Amino acid sequence: MKSDVILGLQWGDEGKGKIVDFLSSKYDVVARFQGGPNAGHTLEFDDIKHVLHQVPSGIFRDNTKNIIGNGVVLDPVVFRKEIEELKQYDVEPFYNLFISKRAQLILPTHRLLDAAYEKSKGEEKIGSTLRGIGPTYQDKTARIGLRVGDISINNFIEKYENLKAKHLTILNIHDFEFDLETLEKEFFEALEYLKKFKLVDTDYLINQSLNAHETILAEGAQGSMLDIDFGSYPFVTSSNTTCAGVCTGLGLAPSKIGQVHGIFKAYCTRVGEGPFPTELNNEVGEKLRKEGHEYGATTGRSRRCGWIDLPALKYSIMVNGVTQLCMMKADVLSAFEEIHACTHYKYKNGNISDKLPFDLCNEDITPVYKTFKGWKQDITGITDYKLLPSELFEYIAFLEEELDLPINIISVGPNRSQTIFKDNHFH
């Protein structure tokens, strides 16, 4: 058996939560392999609308094992809040949620450092979610981080105090004000709460699941253009959001990767700072934001909006080894007379290319667009692929041809039920 993967191909918020929740009925295990509380994955079904941050999106299925892998950075305080919020739906995942002992812990001072670093960057800030992600991964690679498994060892407090002291030295340089006492109180209470869960060697667990012929779905967070190596550096997150992160974030060998589902919006959004070649700073962008309700699921910030960017998508498909595509939010484009797709970038020197440059930040790029006729028709109630409007078929056929992959899922609304399969591939 092999593990399938679902990941975002743009700058995050593609609709991963919706599709993972939807497909999780077909998998025995759903596993998060990177990121942490910077993620906001929205699930909608029946009368429920819920946003998950660290807990995998298979949590609403009683029979699904959910794994928080070693590549994740876990904030115990956010975790406790998330689990308590799930109680309202009678979801109490003490038995079907497994957390890696190797996952790094986000400490209160990591969150403070995130804020201090952002403040010190001024105009150059990343637009971080301020969840402590960068500083925690920084400590991981500096080999001084604390891991979930450490909370049960005798000298945990000593290790914690040592790391805190290092952080305070930096915070003092930044002249940054904070009230650590309150933060520490909730942190230590949350650690006691965390101890009630299954803190295990998820690397063994997931490989045993594979050997027992269980089906596994790895759930990406963020998007490929936010990847620490392949994204629009330095305006990225601090983990490998791409497919290689599945191997290092779960302990799965590359030969154990199966289907890679790449998810993209029928247009494009980005939240936070950084380059965005197809961004529309005009009433069209405003309309995309309004029609698509483009406000961050984690921070509530307005998402920047623009047309689909094929050079970026092609690059993401390449580095991830995507095998099939899901197109999200097609319904949002129903409001437009015309739809544009960026096929190439035109550079200042006149060069035209469909490749991503080394550094998107320092390039003066004008997108080259192909224009499509809109369908101007409500498609949110359509359940049969064949009944989609002809103009949408034209758009899909063009994207499939350009991206050289099938688009097997079309999403036409936020609800689980508003999901259309091209064929019975998944049944």
Question: How far apart, in whole angstroms, are the C-alpha atoms of residue 326 and residue 300?
Answer: 25
Please identify which residue in 40, 76, 108, 135 interacts with ligand IMO, judged by CB under 6 A. Answer: 40
Reported as half-sphere exposure (CB side, CA atoms, 13 A), residue 260 has a value of 26
Binding site for ligand GDP (CB under 6 A): 8, 12-18, 40-42, 44, 297, 328-329, 331-332, 411-414
Active site residues: 13, 41
Nearest to 262 by CA among 381, 400, 416, 418: 400
Q: Is 411 near ligand IMO (CB under 6 A)?
A: no
290: phi then psi, degrees, rounded to nearest 5: -70, -50
Q: Please choose, out of 130-138, 283-291, 364-372, 417-425, the segment that lies near ligand IMO by the rule CB under 6 A.
A: 130-138
Contact window for ligand IMO (CB under 6 A) among 64-72, 124-132, 279-287, 415-423: 124-132
**175, exposed or middle or buried, with CB in 10 Å at 0-12, 13-18, 19+?**
exposed
Which of the residues 224 through 253 are near ligand IMO (CB under 6 A)? 226, 237
CB of 410 to ligand GDP, least distance (A): 8
What is the rounded radius of gyration, in angstroms, for the C-alpha atoms of the chain? 21
Positions in 291-320 near ligand IMO (CB under 6 A): 297
Q: Are 55 and 80 in contact (CB under 8 A)?
A: no
Strands (DSSP E) found in 267-406: 268-270, 304-306, 308-309, 324-328, 338-347, 352-353, 365-373
Among 168, 180, 297, 319, binds Mg ion (CB under 5 A): 297
Binding marks (x or -) toward ligand IMO, 82..121, rule CB under 6 A? ----------------------------------------
Nearer to ligand GDP, 284 or 297 (CB): 297
Q: How many residues does the chain have?
A: 427
When the beta carbons of 160 and 235 are compared against ligand GDP, the nearer one is 235
Measured in degrees and rounded to the nearest 5, phi and psi for residue 60 equal -80, -5
Shortest distance (Å) from residue 60 CB to ligand GDP: 14
Angstrom distance (rounded) from CA 391 to CA 282: 25
- 3-state class of 245 per DSSP? helix
**For binding to ligand IMO (CB under 6 A), which residues are involved?**
8, 12-13, 38-41, 126-129, 131, 133-134, 221-223, 226, 237, 271-272, 297
**For binding to Mg ion (CB under 5 A), which residues are involved?**
13, 40, 297
